[in-house]
Amino acid sequence: MRWQGIIHRYKKYLPITDETPNVTLNEGNTPLVYSNFLSTLVGHGSKVFLKYEGLNPTGSFKDRGMTLAVSKALEAGSDAIICASTGNTSASAACYAARAGIKCVVLLPKDAIALGKLAQAMIHGAQVIAVDGNFDDALGLVREISKKCPITLVNSINPFRIEGQKTGSFEICEQLGMPPDYHFIPVGNAGNITAYWKGYKEYKKAGIIDKLPKMMGYQAEGAAPIVRGHIVKKPETIATAIRIGNPASWKQAEQARDESKGVIDMVSDEKILEAYKLLANKEGVFCEPASAASVAGLIEYARRKYFKQPATIVCILTGHGLKDPDRAIKSVEQPKVVKPKLDLVLNEIGY
Ligand code: AN7
């Protein structure tokens, strides 16, 4: 049957009624790609899979939450949505608002957004405000605005965002035929780790799975408030999507970690870029730097011999590599310019 998005597929597990509109772009149903290189690296006959969330309609996992948040906003009679964003939430909000025919306002930290995401927010017709501050400042502002004005907040503090995003867990369990042993995921505002954990717990309660994975979350070293145990006032990382110093779902992320007996740790920008390039070079999978944080964490833990027996591991690749073309170009040698002469080109390519 034709895939019609996560609300249609998982309505039984979502807070909707027959009256809830379905603002969808057929999000979800993303591939779970086997990684030969990472499986070998982890060893013991383990299997590593990449959940390629960059293949959602706007190129990130945010669409799973946004389809529901915007549908519920419409159901409640709202005609406008607002969010703060490190980029992907704004791209998704702008897109689904366009589809729903409602107004969208996005507050972005000035000069700290990957180009592709800004392009998306703008082309979908959102009103874009650049805040001369960081994501945490912008989130503070939209929280206040949504309290004072008739505009629906669609950051992940909106519970419908979490509800929609939990469907990622359902898909993984179905694609594997079981839950993974370990779930690796980047952590920024901490909504996604919260959502995945909720999803796994609900499938266990429903009797669809009989065990739960360990939740393995990774922050960037320069933006690791949960790991350090305090707010980071000036978060810094090349992984701009997770450049967040005071995550909204901090407590819930700790709960996911503790209940699952997992880990929230941090990885350096250097390790993030190493994983980012490795995925592109060795697996043909292009994700954005923030997504590579989960894989950087996996590589680091494999090096430390964290895994002692065969394990099924899923890494969530949260966003597409094309979101941040500048970073890709900066990460590699620049193309050689040659005169249009056959012998010069042949010489360059080694024939
Ligand atoms: C690619 O768009 O916070 O821990 O405003 O874009 O649920 O925040 C994005 C976050 C990981 C972290 N990977 O997820 C935003 C925003 C990518 C992301 C995260 C984000 P959360």
The answer to whether 187 touches 220, Cβ cutoff 8 Å, is: no
Look at residues 154, 15, 17, 25 and name the one whose alpha carbon lies nearest to residue 80: 154
Residue 302 Cα to ligand 1 midpoint, Å, equals: 24
Alpha-carbon distance 241 to 289, whole Å?
A: 8
Residue 103 Cα to ligand 1 midpoint, Å, equals: 22
In this model, does residue 55 exceed pLDDT 90?
yes
Please, which residues bridge with residue 217 across strands?
Answer: 185, 264
Alpha-carbon distance 258 to 89, whole Å?
A: 27
Cβ–ligand 1 contact at 272 (below 6 Å)? no
pLDDT-derived band at 93 (thresholds 50, 70, 90) equals very high
pLDDT-derived band at 66 (thresholds 50, 70, 90) equals very high
Please, which residues bridge with residue 296 across strands?
Answer: none
Task: Report the residue among 189, 196, 218, 317 best suited for mutation to probe ligand 1: largest number of ligand atoms under 8 A from its CB.
Answer: 189
Q: What is the pLDDT of residue 1?
A: 87
Q: In sequence order, what are the residues at sequence separation of 6 or more whose Cβ sits closer than 8 angstroms to the Cβ of residue 340?
A: none
Residues in the chain: 351
Task: Please write the tens of the pLDDT for every residue from 162-207.
Answer: 999 999 999 999 999 999 999 999 999 999 999 999 999 999 999 9
* Angle in degrees, CA 52, 33, 330, rounded to 5: 55
Tokens 């159901």 belong to residue:
75
pLDDT-derived band at 298 (thresholds 50, 70, 90) equals very high
Task: Report the residue among 56, 83, 86, 154 best suited for mutation to probe ligand 1: largest number of ligand atoms under 8 A from its CB.
Answer: 86
Task: Please write the tens of the pLDDT for every residue from 232-264.
Answer: 999 999 999 999 999 999 999 999 999 999 999
Residue 202 Cα to ligand 1 midpoint, Å, equals: 23
Task: Please write the tens of the pLDDT for every residue from 262-296.
Answer: 999 999 999 999 999 999 999 999 999 999 999 99
